[in-house]
Chains A and B, each alone.
Chain A
Amino acid sequence: MSAIDTQPQTPVVVDNYLNHTKGVLSWALTLDHKRIGVMYTISVLLSFFLGGMFALLVRTELIAPGEGFLTQDQYNQAFSLHGAIMVFLVIIPSVPAALGNFIMPIMLGAKDVAFPRLNLFSYYLWVFGAIFFVVAMFTGSLDTGWTFYTPYSIDTDSAMSGVIPALTGAFILGFSSIFTGMNFIVTIHRLRPPGMTWFRMPLFLWAIYATALIQVLATPVLGITLLLLIMERAFGIGIFNPALGGDPVLYQHFFWFYSHPAVYIMILPGMGIISELIAVHSHKHICGYKFIAFSSVAIAIFGFLVWGHHMFVSGQSPLLNAIFSAITFSVSIPSAVKMFNWLATLYKGSISLNTPMLYALSFMFIFAIGGLTGLHLGTLATDVHLHDTYFVVAHFHYVMMGSALIAMIGGLHHWWPKITGKMYNENLGRLGCILVFVGFNTTFLPQFVLGSQGMPRRYHDYSNFLPEQVELYATYHMWSSIGSYIMAVGFFLTAGYLIHSLFAGRRAPANPWGGRSLEWQCASPPPYDNFAVTPSVGDCYDFSVLEWDEKEQGYRINEEARRKQAYPGEVADRSGAEKLDGD
């Protein structure tokens, strides 16, 4: 074995993945996972901008009771588009396909994903599906909501031209997701370099792996569901249409068999990112590595057993309601395992309050609320009261937006130096994070109150409710809308300094934060093949071997300490870090 843990490279313009080849085609037809990851990231962020605009439209419409500047139909379309874009085009691909594509193979020590062509193919499937989907929703004035419940989605006339194209678009997006998942599972199984045992993998990889399992096992069911619905609408096969003797509740089973696990496709990679951020920025070995790793897999599996909790009030039998309610509570166990381990990692760590760390702390705060309110909704009796109110809206925004997306933005800041080779302005970054955090809570905390007071979701106007209700709702809605503007300012600021850093940012060192996993051992931005030599691996959370390099303004590995750690010999230096797991 030759020496692997290379020192940070010297500050000259070296060959990297960005300047390896030039021209538009060299990007459009690239098989390099890093370039595909960058293309995904840009596409996802553009979709995020689009979805965010629709969110602002919705919030502005609701700022005061009475008919605002949107008509009912426009409002319906705005929130349908907001939801569909955010779920299918932003959150689902954001971490696995965008960041994961870039980071995962480098973290693993591989040169690329297992099937680079398939990877590019799934990117183009995504682009094609995305365009198809958005255009169909715009032109067809889709009003079924993203769930396409039957029989409305079969009968509705207003969406005559929209339903089938939108279903087709979602079908294509699903296949893109399946191929990414397959690719990642094979990469993690077969491309681990020597020394990278399962229990030396960074926890982000465990999370990505668990996510990929769900993508592979759940998404095909979405495929067949959409196919059946297309057939139902086009030919009237009668399986889901009660007018033809079909069973609409069966449709809901089909839909949620995918769409509930899909929730974990969204949150699991976010949790993986947080495990990295907390450990690296606390400069302390992650606590309970195996617990966090297995809890990811446990969440993936439990996630398949709880889909019925979406159907408590829509025709599911009482027996199944009870069963699904009971199983739903069990999902909170692995989630709590993660939370406690993160907290324990923070304890007595030397915490750097960098932007990524602030996002990680925001995540923990928001996810705690989002997760715990889920228990209210999993309880049968309270769910009957809270179903289809703003309580549900607030709950899933706390999980989807406040957790999954905040984690994604945090991860973007964490790996931004690695991806672009540039440092952003740290103070602006912190300010942006605080604005987003404050804005987020101002937006969605009032919605818990709104919901528990009975404000139904999806309403364009509530001015004909009881006067005292209107008064109450108006206050909370106003605060909620103001919060959304604060959040928007935070995001625009973030976009601003990140783009600015591309042109004027300080050159990033190989390891600005003091990370120990493999991606911090190659240059920023990484060279074309990631590693000149297949690297060997140590404990990716043992930060004791790192030292600050003043000249580089980054961390580097102290070779002597590393050797001592790798070959302890008579010097039993086991202080601090846990010993390697799977040797």
Chain B
Amino acid sequence: MAHDAEHHDHPDHLAHHFDTPKQQFEAGKLGMWLFIATEILLFGGLFVGYSVWRGNHPELFEYSSHFLDTTMGGINTAVLIASSLTMAAAVTVAQRNDPVKQDKRPILILLLVLTLCGAAGFMVIKYFEWTHKFAEGWYPGVKYYEKPSDKSHTWDSHAGVIGVEMTTIDTVDGAPTRGDLGLPDTVTVELPAAAPVAVAPDHFLADKLAAVYGNDDAAHAGDPHGADVTTHDAKHDEHEQTHPLQDPHRPRDAHIFFNIYYMMTGLHGIHVIIGGIVITWLLIKSFRGQFHRDYFTPVDLGGLYWHVVDLIWIFLFPLFYLIH
């Protein structure tokens, strides 16, 4: 054993505490699988939230799912599967690359670039999906229950975003109402002044919110102007049907669906971005010709991570987009 160890060439990429490259490779692989297990449990928590809400309130999901764009989701699924395929192929190519001749290096680089394009494409589509949802009024969190709580607020003219294209997300507005709520500042949405529409707040939720977040705000909300707007707005019947908050068929707590959706796709999106960074790093090392049949562990492990991102999306897609 000792004799062998001395004759065993100890290449640069073999750390001092490992005896053989095989041992090092398998340690890395086991480590990655354990990390994958932690990722599954991290997302698992969100799947628990999903199951509890879907199990007890299926109506939220049946109603809200229609607001998601199945085509976009489907395209994104295809994009991720394709990039997973190129990533898996990249591992194979790296395993076949000759350390000296570097014969497979161009293909390896090409495959990694394609994978990276997949990641970028996914995020671009996701961006459009999210902004589209915002434009429809499905904001995440408390912003969803925004209501005319302050007269000076521009609510009357264009607070609603009903059926109007959102043009810019402009400034951070330190509106006093948000301060009163003890919440972070909001992003105001600038809209053409030609859209004089207002939104009825979700009475029940908004009221509870006001009560919970302090007297001041409750007083604001009880202000006759606020009440004015809500009654006045009932006349805008054309827009009522399109805005989620005004849909009479909207089940109570429909926002929970969207918040779970934003949490899950958001966390998934963060993982896509991290995956993109990892692939970029692999790409840089591939340019330098550092991966070959004797040393390809990073490609393999990076690939495993990327497949997990794909795996999670494989479940997210039917669970959110395909509910009837």
Contact = CB atoms under 8 A, between A and B. Distances in A.
**Do A and B share a direct contact in the complex (Cβ within 8 angstroms)?**
yes
A185 B18 CA distance: 16
Contacts of A110: 17
Contacts of B184: 234-235
Interface stretch (B32-40, B222-230, B272-280): B32-40
A244 B140 contact: no
A228 B49 contact: yes
B270 to A, nearest CB: 10
A90 interface: no
Contacts of B26: 190
Contacts of A194: 1
Interface in A197-237: 216-221, 223-225, 227-228, 231, 234-237
Contacts of A218: 41
Nearest to A244: B205
Contacts of A237: 140-141, 259, 262-263
A245 interface: yes
A466 interface: no
A189 interface: yes
B34 A186 contact: yes
A61 interface: no
B175 interface: no
Interface residues of A, number: 53
Contact of B208 (A1, A111, A243): A243
A67 interface: no
Interface string B1-43: 1100100000000011111000100110011001101110111
A116 interface: yes
Interface in B250-264: 252-253, 255-256, 259-260, 262-263
B117 interface: no
B194 interface: no
Contacts of A243: 208-209, 211-212
Contact of A2 (B1, B27, B208, B262): B1
B322 interface: no
B219 interface: no
Contact of B41 (A160, A189, A217): A217
Interface string A240-256: 01011111001001100
Contacts of B38: 178, 182, 216-217, 219-220
A224 B34 contact: no
Interface in A239-284: 239, 241, 243-247, 250, 253-254
A157 B140 contact: no
Contacts of B44: 220-221, 224
Given A194-B1, A235-B141, A250-B52, A186 B31 contact: yes
A533 interface: yes
B46 interface: yes
Q: How large is the interface on B (under 10, 10 to 19, 20 to 34, 35 or more residues)?
A: 35 or more
Contacts of B142: 235-236, 244
Interface string A154-189: 010100100000000000000000100111011001
A75 to B, nearest CB: 26
A30 B183 CA distance: 43
Contacts of A519: none
B143 interface: yes
Interface in B171-220: 182-184, 205, 208-209, 211-214
A221 B255 contact: no
B42 A223 contact: yes
Nearest to B37: A216
Contacts of B211: 243
A191 B209 contact: no
B2 A533 contact: yes
B45 interface: yes
A527 to B, nearest CB: 14
B100 interface: no
A246 B31 contact: no
A52 interface: no
Nearest to B208: A243
A225 B259 contact: no
A114 interface: yes
A265 B53 CA distance: 31
B276 to A, nearest CB: 21
Contacts of A245: 205, 252-253, 255-256
A432 to B, nearest CB: 37
Nearest to A241: B212
A190 B23 contact: yes
Nearest to B211: A243
A114 B140 CA distance: 42
B316 to A, nearest CB: 15
A155 B212 contact: yes
B259 A239 contact: yes
Given A190-B23, A235-B143, A250-B52, A221 B31 contact: no
Given A238-B255, A243-B209, A224 B45 contact: yes
Given A182-B35, A236-B141, A239-B259, A220 B42 contact: yes
A224 B267 CA distance: 10
A224 to B, nearest CB: 3
B17 A534 contact: no
A41 to B, nearest CB: 21
Contacts of B42: 220-221, 223-224
Contacts of A2: 1-2
A462 interface: no
Contact of B30 (A189, A234, A253): A189
Given A228-B45, A244-B205, 16 more contacts: A110-B17, A151-B212, A183-B31, A185-B34, A186-B30, A186-B31, A219-B38, A223-B45, A224-B44, A237-B141, A238-B255, A238-B259, A241-B212, A243-B208, A244-B256, A534-B5
20 contacts: A110-B17, A112-B17, A115-B27, A157-B214, A182-B38, A183-B31, A216-B34, A217-B41, A228-B45, A235-B141, A236-B145, A237-B141, A237-B263, A239-B260, A239-B263, A241-B212, A243-B208, A243-B212, A244-B253, A246-B256
Closest 7 pairs (CB-CB, A-B): A235-B141, A224-B45, A236-B142, A245-B253, A237-B259, A111-B17, A220-B41
